[in-house]
Every structure is written in structure tokens, then in C-alpha cells.
Amino acid sequence: MNQRLRTAWNWVDDRIGFSDSVMPLIAHTVPRNARWWYVLGSATLTAFIVQVCTGICLAMAYVPGGDEAYESLKYITDEAQFGSLLRGMHAYGASAMVTLVVIHLVQVYLHATYKYPRELNWMTGVVLFFVVLGMAFTGQLLRWDANGVWSVFVATEMAARTPYIGPVISHFLLGGETVGGSTLTRFFAYHVFILPGMIFAGVGLHLFLLFRHGVSEMPNVDQPVDPATYKQEYEERLKKTGVPFWPNAMWRDVVFSTLVVGVIVACAAIFGPPALDASPDPANIHANPMPDWYFWWYFAVLSLLPPSYELWFILGVPILGFLVLFCLPLLSNKGHRAPSKRPWAVGIVIASFASFIVLTIYGYREPWSPDFGVPELPQSVIGAKEGPVFEGGKLVHTKGCLYCHTINGYGGHRGPDLSNIGKQLTREDLIIRINNGGYNMPSFAGSVNSQELSKIVDFLMTRVEP
């Protein structure tokens, strides 16, 4: 039996040429010192495979239609066997892919692997990175709940800021002048055909370039890259100390990928897929649109910016960000690779990471948003049972003050905390401020009459911290 199998395999191998053409690729010599640093690319690819497999399954039940998409997702989540698990895997797989592609990019940047001769490895990688972000965004949108619909609005509004051709891009994205039947079908085609096609092609090219130029060594302070001699020196070193990729180096990739898939499946099983928001009715104004976590930082940037810089960020972050990353190896493709010799690179990574964390936290908390669900102040906080102070304490809720201001722990965070305002401003100042408004504060002269104003001020003057 064994003999027969071997004969059969030899026949196939002879015709297909696995040992002749594919084996040399899999077993190509790689530097010995690559170790755990280099498992990130293959793990990203593994996460992509998870996305393809789960995505195909989801596409078997998902209906990309204005009305039906939401219903079919409810069916997948609540009724279909394994539907919830598959949706969960697809969602956590997306998070894994975005996370891994970013860490992979950071690692390659820190080790300056993009230098000669691997410039195109980096450039194809940057294109893939942006395509992956496109997949993440369109995928969130295909959830086609209220959040999905409003994501389309936000995307079209951002595109509309492009000088001259903005509205054209917006109408292209919408598939018309408003969100409607042609909107979701188009995003479905991007997410399921166009962007994955680009990923397949990009990964193919990326891997081809990997084989063509070989796996880079760990950066060495004594070996700065000189294009004139690099290839020869690299080959020589590899001959001396290299090991075959399969299986000497690849086992680490497999171990890490197992971990990645394990975490994806475990998260899907334990936490389940992201909950569906309200139905995709553009007339439902009670939506609270919010991107998935990987875009919270950008969501925060768009709120914190002064309006005059806004255009530069809305268009600049995607376009300039892409161009800077894409052209990086054209700007510097030789010299030191070691992080210890590239303090700017290390600084940029640390600054970017810190900004990402801080902005993500801000994006999650949304302190700039009015807090629509704020409760009324309890009597214990108001400190009176009747009279103008009591009525003023009620009015700060009904007149919306609490949407933006905190009083003794109750209220939103957009404006200053008013818990000690009785000490900070005089009665006259308060009246002027409320009537006229101020930086980012509306004027209330039109919506608060003089009696109401007097009660609100009476109440606010009692806000004195001990």
C-alpha cells in the first residue's frame, strides 16, 4: 500500500513538478537569526485565509439588498447552524488581520527591511495594508444596520470634501444621489470581489518578491545596506549560516498562526459576533454612528480638529499617509537598518503608537458628543425641595445644559464641569454667558426666558465645592 502510494505520488510529482519547482521555494535558504520576529506576515496571511473561508460561508446566506441584508444577518446570527460562530470568526478575523498587518508593517519599518533590494516588497505591502483597511471599512458597512448605513453617509461626506471631483466620488460611492438600492450592492461587490481580488494579486506579488530577494537578516549595526555590494554579501552570509525555510524556520510561523486562529475561534465562540444595531432605516435619527475600533482614533481626530485644518486631515490622512508610506523606500533605501542607529524611526513608532492609544480612548469615550441619555439631577444633588434653586436644578436638564456640562458627576463632557461654577463666575457673568454663548457654546437667549434664566443662575450659584 505504502509502495503504491509512493508510486502514485511520484507519477503526480513528475507531471506537476512539485519537487522540481515548488519545493525549492518552500525550502529556500533563509537567515538563521530570523526567529520569532518574522512570523507576522504569515500570520496575516492565515487571518486572510480565515476571512476568505468564513466570508464564502456567510455569502451563502447573506443577501446584499437594501431590505434583506439586515434580515439575512439576523438569520445568520440567530438561526443558522454555526452562523453565529462564523460571523464571529469573520469579525474577529478582521480585527486580527488589521492588527497583524499593522504590527507586521511596524516590525518591517523598525528593522528597515524596506531598504535595497526589497523596496517593492514594502510598496506592495503598503498597498495591501490600505486594501485591508478598505476591507475592514466595507465589511463593517455590510453589517447594514443603522451604523452601516450611516457609515456610508460619513464616507460620502468625507469624499465630498475632495476639491472639484468630491461630489462625483460621493455619487459614485452611493450609486446615486441618495442611499438606496444601488448602495449596498456596490459595497458588496467591493468587499467580496474587487478588494479580495486585489489582496490575492497583491499577496502573490508580495510572496514572489519575498522569494526573489530572500528573507532579510536581522539588522546588524556592522552591516549597513550598500546597494553595490549587498546582494553578494547577503548570498555569501546565507551560504555560510542559512537554514532551509521548511521546516527549520517555518515551524515558528505555523505555531504562531495556530495561536492566531485559536484566538479568533475562541473569541468568536466566547464573545459571539458584534451585535446588530437598529435596522438600516436612514429616517431613523436615533442612530449613534460609530466606526469599528480600528478607526476610533480617526473618529477622534475628526472631532478634535479645528475646522480650518479639517480638510487637510480628511483627505490628507488617507492620501498623504499612503503616499508617504508608499514612497518611503524611494526616499531612503540604503544605510543602517539597526533601530539603534535610526532614532527617528523608533521615535516615530513610539509617537504613532502613543497617539493611537490616546485617540482610540478618546474616540471610545466621545467626550465631545452631547450626552442625550443624561438623567435628571436627583434632589440630593440639587439641594432644595422647592423654590427657584429647585426649579433651576430641573431646568438645567430640560434646557439641555447637562448634555454638555457635568454637575456633581451628572452630565456630558463637552463643556466645562459646572460643579464649582458658583465660585468661578459671578451672577452677571453667568447671565451674559448663557444669553450670548461662547466658544462652542450656543447662545440660549432665544430658548430660555428671563424667569427661567434667573432660576438657572440661582441654581448654578449654589454650585460651590466645599
Partner 1 sequence: MKKNVTNQPCCQDVSDRRSFHARLSMILSAIIGALIVLPGVGFVLAPIFKKTNQKWRMLGKVDDFKEGATVLVNFEDPSSEVWAGVTAKTAAWLRRVDESEFIAFSINCRHLGCPVRWVEGPELFMCPCHGGVYYKDGTVAGGPPPEPLDRYQVRVRDGAVEIHTAAVPLTTTLTFDES
Residues 263-322 that bind partner 1 (CB under 8 A): 279-290, 299, 302-303, 305, 307, 310-311
Extract the C-alpha cell encoding 183: 448602495
Taking the complex as a whole, the smallest distance from the CB of residue 401 to partner 1 amounts, in Å, to 8
DSSP 280: -
For residue 436, the Cα-to-chain-centroid distance in whole angstroms is 40
In whole angstroms, how close is the CB of 411 to partner 1 at the nearest point? Answer: 13
User: Looking at beta carbons only, is 66 or 244 nearer to partner 1?
Assistant: 66
Outline where 220-285 has alpha helix (H).
Answer: 230-241, 250-271
Shortest spacing between CB 193 and partner 1, in angstroms: 12
Q: Which of residues 122-151 bind partner 1 (CB under 8 A)?
A: 149-150
Specify the residue, 56 or 361, whose C-beta has the smaller distance to partner 1.
Answer: 361
* Stretch in the footprint of partner 1 (CB under 8 A) among 14-22, 245-253, 336-344, 366-374: 366-374
Residue 449 binds partner 1 (CB under 8 A): no
Which residue's CB is nearer to partner 1, number 178 or number 241?
178
- Per-residue HEC secondary structure of 218-233 comes to CCCCCCCECCCCHHHH
Q: Least distance (Å) from partner 1 to the CB of residue 300? A: 9
Nearer to partner 1, 284 or 450 (CB): 284
Give me the least distance between CB of 444 and partner 1, in Å please. 6
Q: How far is CA 70 from CA 60, 66, 86, 91, 154, in A?
A: 15, 8, 16, 16, 20
One-letter identity of residue 135: M
User: Shortest gap between Cβ of 80 and partner 1 (angstroms)?
Assistant: 21
355 Cβ neighbours under 8 A, 6+ residues apart? 297
Q: Given the DSSP bridges, would you call strands 29-30 and 243-244 parallel, antiparallel or unpaired?
A: antiparallel
Minimal distance, residue 454 CB to partner 1, in Å:
17
Sign of CA dihedral 394, 396, 399, 405: negative
Query: Shortest distance, CB of residue 288 to partner 1, whole angstroms?
Result: 5
Q: Which residue stretch of 126-134, 259-267, 332-340, 433-441 sits at the interface with partner 1 (rule: CB under 8 A)?
A: 433-441
User: What is the pattern of x (binds partner 1, CB under 8 A) and - over residues 334-363?
Assistant: ------------------------------
DSSP 410: B
Choices 19-27, 45-53, 61-69, 457-465 (CB under 8 A): range interacting with partner 1: 61-69
398 or 426: whose CB is closer to partner 1? 398
Closest CA to 57 of 86, 93, 77: 86
Phi, psi at 33, each rounded to 5° = -90, 10
Closest to partner 1 by CB, 65 vs 339, is 65
Q: Which of residues 155-194 bind partner 1 (CB under 8 A)?
A: 156-158, 160-164, 166-168, 170-172, 174-184
Size of the site for partner 1 (CB under 8 A): 72
Contacts of 418 (CB under 8 A, 6+ apart): 401, 405, 406, 407, 411, 460, 463
Helix (H) or strand (E) holding 213: helix 195-213
Q: In angstroms, what CA-CA distances link 60 with 43, 144, 205, 349?
A: 26, 17, 29, 41
Partner residues linked to 225 by β-bridges: 335
Binding-site member from 369, 408, 424, 435 for partner 1 (CB under 8 A)? 369
Q: What is the smallest separation between the CB atom of 167 and partner 1, expressed in angstroms?
A: 5
- Which residue in 37, 322, 356, 368 binds partner 1 (CB under 8 A)? 368
Count of CB atoms situated within 10 Å of the CB of 291: 20
Q: Restricting to residues 212-271, which ones interact with partner 1 according to CB under 8 A?
A: none
**Considering only residues 392-421, where is the footprint of partner 1 by CB under 8 A?**
397-401, 403, 414
Question: Cα–Cα distances in Å, from 264 out to 79, 96, 379, 395?
Answer: 21, 7, 48, 49
Q: What is the closest distance, in whole angstroms, from the C-beta atom of residue 451 to partner 1 in the complex?
A: 15
